[in-house]
Structure 1
Amino acid sequence: MLPLGSILQKYNINYHCYVHPENEEWTCFEQSASLDIKSFFGFESTVEKIAMKQYASSIKKGKEIIEYYLRELEEEGVTCVPRWSPCPPSPTKPMVPVVIPALPITPTITIEAPPESMNEIQVLCLDKLDADYIKRYLGDLTPLQESCLIRLRRWLQETHKGKIPKDEHILRFLRARDFNIDKAREILCQSLTWRKQHQVDYLLDTWSSPHVLHDYYTGGWHHHDKDGRPLYILRLGHMDTKGLVRALGEESLLRHVLSINEEGLRRCEENTKVFGRPISCWTCLVDLEGLNMRHLWRPGVKALLRIIEVVEANYPETLGRLLILRAPRVFPVLWTLVSPFIDENTRKKFLIYAGNDYQGPGGLVDYIDKEIIPDFLGGECMCEVPEGGLVPKSLYRTAEELENDEIRLWTETIYQSASIFKGAPHELLIEIIDASSVITWDFDVCKGDVIFNIYHSKRAPQPPRKDPLATHGITSPAGNNVQLIDKSWLLGQDYSMVESPLTCKEGESVQGSHVTRWPGFYILQWKFHSMPACATTNLPRVDDVLATLQVSSHKCKVMYYTEVLGSEDFRGSMTSLESSHSGFSQLSAATTSSSQSQSNSMISR
């Protein structure tokens, strides 16, 4: 048993009754409380919520008691009570103190947990607060799973302010890694960076499927299964994969599949509201009638493997069940090619039926209501999924045209990437003509730890030097590492620092702004963060020796976006700029403040 009192340093509730200062006929009842929480393993805010819930219950109880006695007076016909005034003390009779019974307070909350498991105590606190929410939106979670969700969400709140995915999305990544927080955090951060770089959150609003896909892509949404999951039907055997790849290219097909997954997430949210229970994944029905050796065309299989790789990395645990119907003899060949690229947990959700086996017991009717089984599978429901067919060769495009389109698709992003090496920072030049302009930035640390600096110079730096690592015998990747500050420049003389250095760790997302005071040249710098040398010895460490010999192993990577605004157009930090589109609109449950910044600079993580 762990009483709440052992967690609280001080928890006082005071009651006060007085005459209303503006109307003497009114009596005011006031209740106040003070709360001082001990350190409780990072769960102080949760304990505060519990205490506030208890305090609110006490207020409600006190109000009920007051209303009870007022009703008693009304029933006795008492409509006015004269103001009380203290009697002068009698010299012969000592005053007898009047004992006023205290208002009943909600009993102290106790939490039952094994004394050796503090994590269980933390989780039980949360369970008492969020049980209804968890049951309604997340489903059944063990105390340990709930604890993992809370801890990972807290870490994201500290490092990705204003852009926190919903709990359902975080939970998918935890389930994909069997609730190993470190592994789930790694793949989740990589996915968030990928979504941000390619603006995936806005895909449904910006992606317009080419006309060829409408006519020849044999897939579409079709009602839902018996569990309420959205149902997607793919007639893969009728699809001309070679024609689609030759007409559209691999990247356009990938974009289309991503839009299907984004639509699936949206439909899951809608079905959660409709059915009143958590629905976090969908069912896919794949009809392989017509599959033959032409579907094993090498570029087509390569495109399929690429799609599987991207979907597995960024949409884990979104497939609830995969029904493969009418698998022909050639299917084992295709399965041998693609199965190694599918996660083991996903493969367990595959149900494969050969021939007409799906029509019998244990078949399709066990998972899909009979009245919505598509007509081409022997049902009575008309299905609007295109029948496909061969793509006309007149729609084929040349390799050069496809390559240009693919470059355009994946460079339509406002973010740039840069590599930072030990001794070779990446620097960005911004020329400011009007003072009081606002430089804004938004960057993610994809790999390693970096130090972010902002400098000002009245003179323009020389053109960027090429191959900054040539002295080490290593060539810097072209276009993603630029150095502007010459080694002959002196800090405080040739240029000055206008912001305090900010250390940013791997996985962090940083947004901020700086109101410029002077015109001139501003330099944003991302610098490799070296760990301090050991202070107990002067001998060089093995790691340091290797670092000087293999600089390429000491590499950081950032993805950034900057913008210069007039002060009248500035609406806060980068997280609130509509032009940056840096928030996770589809996944974020939080919004950011757009109030006018009052400070000269602001950095938030």
Structure 2
Amino acid sequence: MTVVSPTVVPRMVQKYQSPVRVYKQPFELVMAAYERRFPTCHLIPMFVDSEVLGESVTDDGSVHTVQRRCKLDVDAPRLLKRIAGVDYVYFSQENTLNKRDRTLHIESHNETFSNRVIIHELCCYSAHPDNEDWTCFEQSASLDIKSFFGFESTVEKIAMKQYASSIKKGKEIIEFYLNQLEEEGITQVPRWSPSLDGPSVAVKPVCATPKIPDQDLPAVPALSDPLDADYIKRYLGDLTPLQESCLIRLRQWLQESHKGKIPKDEHILRFLRARDFNMDKARETMCQSLTWRKQHQVDHLLETWTSPRVLSDYYTGGWHHHDKEGRPLYILRLGQMDTKGLVRALGEESLLRHVLSINEEGLRRCEENTKVFGRPISCWTCLVDLEGLNMRHLWRPGVKALLRIIEVVEANYPETLGRLLILRAPRVFPVLWTLVSPFIDENTRKKFLIYAGNDYQGPGGLVDYIDKEIIPDFLGGDCMCDVPEGGLVPKSLYRTAEELENDDIRLWTETIYQSASIFKGAPHEVVIEIIDAASVITWDFDVCKGDVVFHIYHSKRAPQPPARKDPPGGPHGSITTPGGNNVQLIDRSWTLGLDYSMVESPLTCREGESVQGSHVTRWPGFYILQWRFHNMPGSSSTNLPRVDDVLASLQVSSHKCKVMYYTEVIEKECSHSLVISTSAASTELSLS
């Protein structure tokens, strides 16, 4: 007898979140407009009808609850309706109006096909927290598709379309009925009061209520504040409801996982746009970039980086006004640049730091121009003049440095280039383009405009993008440009290969975060000796890849690192672990509760999270900070596996995760002064 297993259909779950939308009318007036949507609304064609199933009012009249059943004619293919056997879809809705708190909570879910599809929607109207005469509206929804006759993707698209339409039409409908009320002379509805008997009634005032003037600029929300729809439109641009939802949800995830240390909304949006608003891909690349920024302290680059004199004299690039769209304009006279001389005099890392500082300055200028021009400006225009480009620019180390710079910029500054104007491209340019174009994102390549010879001077050329009065003099304009003319870097400034290598290493490792590799079954540990029991141990670490468990232990005796062993073939290249600088300190013979004790509950940390915390020490002695793979068997065992026990299994392991951490110890002395000592490392965990 053959047993046929049923086909398992993967469940599709989607969540949506709208920004806060603000009506500049009091809550009670908005509620009067909202009630006019029922029992049906001609502005929503698919809303066929509704009936009240139940209604209740508290004794004091402050809370009014209504249960409704809504009949919808969903815009779905006729074939799908025929297969499903329905013409209409029914939803249950419960409205709870709290007149005392000035809130209306709306919860609805589908009755039709509830065993196959679960649609859950939450809406809330409330008085504005900063202006009691305004009203806020928020909406969220979730879609859980268990199965739907093989049409799961179609149902998902229909639901997304209906959600987007609902968000777009919702505010228009309320504003329509608000205008209708105003035309009828109803401009004020009294607030609920315990002294009023029965429901509040709309009244026509003798004098019209003075309107609150519109604010010129919506406030920029704090990191913990929800995003306002007016703020999004003013500072970030016109987004579809689904794009708004992606932005809000990614921002919320970052707030929860990175404890407030998140980039600005403009930067989050850039990563979403670069990944076509794919939440998972955008989150992955953004977390990698945030870790990179923290490790190399890029957030402070503009304050800490000082360009060497040779860059000031011979790097032929600089900012120059803005283009016709208000985007900051950066000019690079690449054909006049001595790339070989700069690489030989500075090294690859210094050039990279300089380019990163240019990108950071570009972000700052975009923010400034957004305020100046009154519209969202999130990217800049780059003008590259190739006059003078020849074969010497194809010097291999120089091309290698260029490709490295492109790779780093593409990964960490997505969607910052609005347009690239390449002027006076010579015959050698196709060779250079062939080398670098594979390293440039396809969406970025679409922004390139290439002009050969003097083609840029005619119609469709430079004047279409840059005002004539700011075209640089070296391109035939009248504007003086401060960009250095370049020239050959004197060979007296060249440095030896050893000097450049040492300088590159110094710049690359010039960070409070360092590296240490460990493997599954071999947790990484850091020991901190505490003299004063009143000390505080603080930590800040990022889970770059994989999931880990963080422990803190205390011991009265100092743990000893394992003895260093020489590999076969001699003492050179001796190792302590397969990872090179992995450190395990808790001896396998130690017993938990006897030789050492746990002083903090284990903390499971997921990939992409940034964790900060502190521990006030109760006793002097040795505190051990430990990171291990979160689902490792026997993670709380007293017999900790050593490197020798797991080496064989590690040799076939190819999966890795990374934890980057920084610790700080604050010791309180008798004089109440604080002595701060620090240690840091970046831990690489290998998972099998």
Task: Report the TM-score when normalising by structure 1.
Answer: 0.74
Letter in 2 for 1:103: S
- Aligned pair in 2 of structure 1 residues 478, 378: CA closer, same or farther (>3 Å)? same
2:619 to 507, 512, 518: 518
Residue aligning to 1:238:
336
Residue aligning to 2:99:
13
Q: State yes or no: 1:477 paired with 2:579.
A: yes
Residue aligning to 1:371:
469
Q: State yes or no: 1:103 paired with 2:200.
A: yes
Q: Secondary structure at the match of 2:601?
A: coil
Q: How far does residue 552 in structure 1 lie from its aligned partner after superposition?
A: 2.8
Q: How far does residue 129 in structure 1 lie from its aligned partner after superposition?
A: 7.3
Residue aligning to 1:51:
126
Residue aligning to 1:160:
258
2:550 to 452, 455, 463: 452
Provide, for residues 533-577 of structure 1, a one-character-per-residue CA deviation record: whole Å limited to 9, x for no partner. 9xxxxxxxxxxx9994756335332100000013599xxxxxxx9
Distance 1:337 1:497 in 2: 56
Q: Retained in 1: the 8 A contact 2:379–2:418?
A: yes
Q: Secondary structure at the match of 2:438?
A: helix
Residue aligning to 1:556:
657
Distance 2:668 2:66 in 1: 51
Deviates more, 1:555-564 or 1:344-353: 555-564
Q: State yes or no: 1:305 paired with 2:406.
A: no
For 1:522-537, what aligned pairs fall within 5 Å after superposition?
522-530=623-631
Residue aligning to 2:666:
565
Q: Retained in 1: the 8 A contact 2:534–2:617?
A: yes
Q: Secondary structure at the match of 1:51?
A: strand
For 1:177-576, what aligned pairs fall within 5 Å after superposition?
177-466=275-564, 476-479=578-581, 481-530=582-631, 548=649, 552-566=653-667
Letter in 1 for 2:323: D
Distance 1:354 1:43 in 2: 58
Q: Retained in 1: the 8 A contact 2:314–2:487?
A: yes
The count of aligned residue pairs is 492
- Aligned pair in 2 of structure 1 residues 56, 302: CA closer, same or farther (>3 Å)? same
Deviates more, 1:142-151 or 1:292-301: 142-151
Q: Retained in 2: the 8 A contact 1:444–1:507?
A: yes
Q: Secondary structure at the match of 1:453?
A: strand
Q: How far does residue 142 in structure 1 lie from its aligned partner after superposition?
A: 1.1
Q: Secondary structure at the match of 1:560?
A: strand
Provide, for residues 126-161 of structure 1, a one-character-per-residue CA deviation record: whole Å limited to 9, x for no partner. xx9733111111111111111111111111111111
Q: Retained in 1: the 8 A contact 2:516–2:579?
A: no
Letter in 1 for 2:578: S
Q: RCO greater where, 1 or 2, for CA within 8 Å and sep 6 or more? A: 1
Letter in 1 for 2:580: A
Q: Retained in 2: the 8 A contact 1:268–1:281?
A: yes
Distance 1:141 1:34 in 2: 27
Residue aligning to 1:111:
none
Distance 2:609 2:454 in 1: 52
Q: Secondary structure at the match of 1:498?
A: strand
Letter in 2 for 1:491: L
Q: Retained in 1: the 8 A contact 2:518–2:579?
A: no
Q: Retained in 1: the 8 A contact 2:316–2:486?
A: yes
Distance 2:134 2:377 in 1: 37
Q: How far does residue 520 in structure 1 lie from its aligned partner after superposition?
A: 0.3
Q: Retained in 2: the 8 A contact 1:296–1:334?
A: yes
Q: How far does residue 463 in structure 1 lie from its aligned partner after superposition?
A: 2.5
Distance 1:430 1:506 in 2: 26
Q: How far does residue 64 in structure 1 lie from its aligned partner after superposition?
A: 6.2
Deviates more, 1:53-62 or 1:392-401: 53-62
For 1:37-186, what aligned pairs fall within 5 Å after superposition?
47-48=123-124, 50-53=125-128, 56-57=132-133, 100=197, 102-104=199-201, 130-186=228-284
Letter in 2 for 1:566: E
Q: How far does residue 182 in structure 1 lie from its aligned partner after superposition?
A: 0.8
Letter in 2 for 1:497: M
- Aligned pair in 2 of structure 1 residues 551, 368: CA closer, same or farther (>3 Å)? same
Q: How far does residue 375 in structure 1 lie from its aligned partner after superposition?
A: 0.2
In structure 2, runs of 5+ residues without a counterpart are: 1-43, 51-64, 68-92, 110-117, 137-177, 179-185, 204-225, 569-574, 635-645, 671-675, 681-688
- Aligned pair in 2 of structure 1 residues 207, 51: CA closer, same or farther (>3 Å)? same
Q: Secondary structure at the match of 1:501?
A: strand
Q: Secondary structure at the match of 1:530?
A: coil
Distance 2:322 2:340 in 1: 30
- Aligned pair in 2 of structure 1 residues 467, 165: CA closer, same or farther (>3 Å)? farther
Q: Retained in 2: the 8 A contact 1:235–1:286?
A: yes
Q: Retained in 1: the 8 A contact 2:562–2:576?
A: no
In structure 1, runs of 5+ residues without a counterpart are: 15-31, 68-97, 107-127, 534-544, 570-576, 582-605
Q: Retained in 1: the 8 A contact 2:548–2:628?
A: yes
Distance 2:415 2:315 in 1: 24
Q: How far does residue 415 in structure 1 lie from its aligned partner after superposition?
A: 1.6
Q: Retained in 1: the 8 A contact 2:521–2:632?
A: no
Identity rate of aligned residues, in percent? 80
Residue aligning to 2:3:
none
Q: Secondary structure at the match of 2:99?
A: strand
Task: Report the TM-score when normalising by structure 2.
Answer: 0.66
Residue aligning to 1:24:
none
- Aligned pair in 2 of structure 1 residues 39, 153: CA closer, same or farther (>3 Å)? farther
Letter in 1 for 2:313: D
Letter in 1 for 2:486: G
Q: Retained in 1: the 8 A contact 2:540–2:613?
A: yes
Residue aligning to 2:7:
none
Residue aligning to 2:207:
none
- Aligned pair in 2 of structure 1 residues 188, 294: CA closer, same or farther (>3 Å)? same
Provide, for residues 99-141 of structure 1, a one-character-per-residue CA deviation record: whole Å limited to 9, x for no partner. 84643489xxxxxxxxxxxxxxxxxxxxx97331111111111
Q: How far does residue 10 in structure 1 lie from its aligned partner after superposition?
A: 4.2
Distance 1:260 1:182 in 2: 29
Q: Retained in 2: the 8 A contact 1:58–1:105?
A: no
Provide, for residues 239-270 of structure 1, a one-character-per-residue CA deviation record: whole Å limited to 9, x for no partner. 00000000000000000000000000000000
Provide, for residues 490-530 of structure 1, a one-character-per-residue CA deviation record: whole Å limited to 9, x for no partner. 00000000000000111111000000000000000001112
Provide, for residues 146-191 of structure 1, a one-character-per-residue CA deviation record: whole Å limited to 9, x for no partner. 1111111111111111212111101100111111111111110000
Q: Retained in 1: the 8 A contact 2:105–2:123?
A: no
Provide, for residues 567-590 of structure 1, a one-character-per-residue CA deviation record: whole Å limited to 9, x for no partner. 599xxxxxxx9x999xxxxxxxxx
